[in-house]
Amino acid sequence: MSKGIRNLNNLTMKSGIGRLGSTTLCLMGPLFFIACPRNSPPDTGNIGVSTRSANTNAPAVVASAVAFNGERAMAHVRKQVDFGPRPPGSPELAKTREYIVNELKSYGLTVSTDEFVAATPVGEKKMANITAEIPGESQDVVIVSSHYDTKLYENMQFVGANDPGASVGTLIELGRVLSSNGRKPRLTYWLVFFDGEESFCEGWDECAKPGAPDNTYGSRHYVSELRNKNQLDRVRALILLDMMGYKSLELGRDTMSTKWLQDVIWQTAREIGYGSIFVDRPEGVGGDDHEPFLRAGIDSVDIIQLNSYPPWHTPEDTIDKVSATSMKVVGDVLVASLPRVEQRVLDKVR
Ligand SMILES: [Zn+2]
């Protein structure tokens, strides 16, 4: 993502992306919901209590069998950082991909990878998006996502512990939590890991050409594949995680995100005691992987701390900047929010 505000009108779409092939690995898994007592310290892994939300028709935040574990998410961050810099097309990103796929498979999820070739300012790059599916009663889909590539730097050891290590770690742990209660969810969930989010040139728009932005390669490819397969209408909402593991976590509201979706998450965060972390100030994010979905008419929210993360795109974006507690906070809020997102989507359908 680039710093600063940007409206959607001057965005360009879809460039130089060719389809190579797809593989599917298969095991099935269930879904569930959690909450922590208001203001309880994060990272306890405790089971929560039922609380009635201010908004009477929103489902209450319910207790559950398995809690989001910040230390497990942290272990996934450590694993990625240990692989080193992980730009698109690199052996290190291939190892990261294998790690993500194997973790999700070990939770019994159906996992597929979609390989494609992107034309970039530094030549053609082989890329691959990863999707883990949790089938629901309805074919309608909610996507929870993160990019998993690190920005390419020729002269810098950039390991991207928070960008994207933390959001990848949180998404993997969310997969474990959502797949361990043996109950079929009302909507289908896709946990999606996008390749090629970062620009290959230093600046987000520095090498952009009309119809050929130098960023969001994986998410743009994902949307075009959904369109090609007439699957776009199935996707009812996208939740994007990016740079949300900083130890001094404070999440403002991305100014491009869909308001009702953002409200559900921020409201739920307040209800379970994280109102001082999910705050009501605007966060100018400019560009990120939710844009191609917003352009395609899909309600989308970006959960990101960009402007108050000084190590952004520097060698200082290292594991000591990331905390298990911060990932636990976002994990708890996500899991408590999902039933409400479902409810809103189902209400819209009816
Ligand atoms: Zn980045």
* Structural domain boundaries in the chain: 4-19+68-349
User: Which is nearest to 73 in space by CA: 325, 334, 338?
Assistant: 325
State yes or no: pLDDT of 255 exceeds 50: yes
CA of 53 to the centre of ligand 1 (A): 35
CA of 109 to the centre of ligand 1 (A): 28
Q: What pLDDT does residue 64 have?
A: 59
Ion ligand 1 contact residues with beta carbon within 5 A: 163
DSSP 147: E
With tokens 């398995």, the residue in question is 66
Q: What pLDDT does residue 182 have?
A: 80
Strand partners, 212: 209
Whole-angstrom distance between the N-terminal and C-terminal Cα of the chain?
36
CA of 63 to the centre of ligand 1 (A): 35
Residue 55 to residue 140: CA distance in whole angstroms = 24
State yes or no: pLDDT of 225 exceeds 50: yes
CA of 242 to the centre of ligand 1 (A): 8
Q: What's the mean pLDDT in 317-337?
A: 98
Confidence tier at 62 by pLDDT (50, 70, 90) = low
CB 262 within 8 A of CB 253: yes
State yes or no: pLDDT of 23 exceeds 70: no
Structure tokens at 50: 């039922």
12: CB partners within 8 A, 6+ apart: 208, 209, 210, 211, 212, 213
The mean pLDDT of the chain is 87
State yes or no: pLDDT of 53 exceeds 80: no
State yes or no: pLDDT of 298 exceeds 60: yes
State yes or no: pLDDT of 271 exceeds 70: yes
CA of 318 to the centre of ligand 1 (A): 13
CA of 121 to the centre of ligand 1 (A): 17
State yes or no: pLDDT of 22 exceeds 60: no
CA of 31 to the centre of ligand 1 (A): 30
State yes or no: pLDDT of 4 exceeds 90: no
CA of 331 to the centre of ligand 1 (A): 21
Q: What pLDDT does residue 66 have?
A: 81
Residues 77-120: pLDDT tens digits?
Answer: 999 999 999 999 999 999 999 999 999 999 999 999 999 999 99
Confidence tier at 11 by pLDDT (50, 70, 90) = very low
What are φ and ψ of residue 156, in 5° steps?
-150, 135
pTM: 0.85
Cis peptide before 164 (omega within 30 of 0): yes
Q: What pLDDT does residue 63 have?
A: 55
CA of 251 to the centre of ligand 1 (A): 16
| Cβ-based neighbour number of residue 57 at 10 Å | 9
CA of 147 to the centre of ligand 1 (A): 9
> What is the CATH class of 4-19+68-349?
alpha beta
Q: What's the mean pLDDT in 239-263?
A: 98
Residue 88 to residue 350: CA distance in whole angstroms = 42
Structure tokens at 76: 């996934």
CA of 163 to the centre of ligand 1 (A): 5
CA of 274 to the centre of ligand 1 (A): 25
CB 120 within 8 A of CB 214: yes
